[in-house]
Amino acid sequence: MLRRRVAAALLLVAGSALPAASDQMTKNPPCQSVKSIGVAHMTKDGVITLRIRSLPPPPIAEAELRYAPDDQSYVEIKRHLGGIAPGEWKSVRPWC
């Protein structure tokens, strides 16, 4: 469910444009080889903010997503980040 929410957020930002050439997709790196799609920050009150971008092919989309401690996806986001503490910034790996 969380992957769908993240993907949906990025699609909303990107619109409905699709790549024109299928060979363009073969020139893009596989998801597993991408180390980061953005950054995460936890505020003093525990809110996690993700500033992320989509993977190629274009169009590239960017989104800012916020998860409060009472959000149903909060625990999964925190786990995906490998844990995060108030005031900390971390790199966000892609959901592959």
What is the identity of the amino acid at 87?
Answer: G
Strands (E), the chain: 38-42, 48-53, 62-67, 89-92
Q: Tokens 């597993």 map to which residue?
A: 32
- Phi, psi of 23, deg, nearest 5: -70, -20
- Which residues have C-beta within 8 Å of that of residue 9, sequence separation ≥ 6? 63, 65
Q: Tell me the pLDDT of the chain (96 aa) as tens digits.
A: 665 566 555 444 444 344 444 444 456 778 888 999 999 999 999 999 999 999 888 888 999 999 999 999 999 999 999 999 999 999 999 998
Cβ atoms of 46 and 88 closer than 8 Å: no
Q: Tokens 């995906």 map to which residue?
A: 80
User: What's the pTM?
Assistant: 0.71
Provide the residue ranges of all domains of the chain, joining segments of one domain with +: 2-14+34-92
